[in-house]
Structure 1
């Protein structure tokens, strides 16, 4: 079982949770959590250990997020199709074939590189790796959502 699939099960991603997570508000507020988490971690500079409070709040939001918005039963929006595609991909990786598999690997590498830069920037409190890393993570995720939306459309 993949790490992502284990994570999805650990945070209670039932069929209903996936439908709720497909709500565009769920997707876009998760993206909004990226700068909030950066600010929360960066705040250690002036809050010290108290910075763990905003970090914990963002983590709690990220765990609750897929469960709080109304369910989307018929994915009509770009984000909803992407989340439905992500669910398909997590349950059956063989659905992504050929060049699409190569693009998925590229996007995972892009996101991983972005995360590494982001982590370096946050540890060192350096602006350029933080911003560049967050940008790579965001671009990688948006592109993944797009590709997974195409997967959903091809397999519905």
Structure 2
């Protein structure tokens, strides 16, 4: 997979971002941080809220480049990169992007429930957001055909060499 830029500084930055974000720890913790974020809102815990936002911001580059990307969590990130590089975006009325559009009211419901301290609504909204998001990522994995590879992952190696 080639970086979307010309290989200059921006290309190297993008390649580094995607390579490190393809670490299964990055993708996995990013999925799991959403319930923590909703809990912080529900409990009105400013420190947890700030820590969660900080983690969300640094998560894609927090973990090192993985040696293997032939796992489901890495494939989520690789498929998202390919999907975006192909210019398919994340919102629209076409499948699977319609899932992200449908996720907007579910997200508002989750936030409103957490803000109003409605535990059942917060739980259902949070689960709904996560299920729909994973449905979208699973769909783009299937549509892009991304499989990931082992230690000699040409996808990540090509991106690194092109960006240098």
TM-score by length of 1: 0.74
Task: Give the gaps of 5 or more residues in structure 1.
Answer: 1-11, 45-50
Q: Is the 8 A contact 2:42 2:116 kept in 1?
A: no
Match status 1:33 vs 2:33: yes
Equivalent positions of 1:27-106 (< 5 A) are 27-44=27-44, 51-72=45-66, 75-94=69-88, 102-106=94-98
* Larger helix proportion of the pair: 1
Off by >4 Å, runs of 4+ in structure 1: none
Closer, same or farther: CA 94–56 of 1 in aligned 2, 3 Å = closer
Closer, same or farther: CA 118–94 of 1 in aligned 2, 3 Å = closer
TM-score by length of 2: 0.71
Task: Give the gaps of 5 or more residues in structure 2.
Answer: 1-11, 148-154, 156-164
1:93 counterpart SS class: coil
Q: Is the 8 A contact 1:111 1:137 kept in 2?
A: yes
Deviation at 1:154, TM superposition (A): 6.2
Match of residue 115 from structure 2: 123
Q: Is the 8 A contact 2:19 2:65 kept in 1?
A: yes
Closer, same or farther: CA 13–36 of 1 in aligned 2, 3 Å = farther
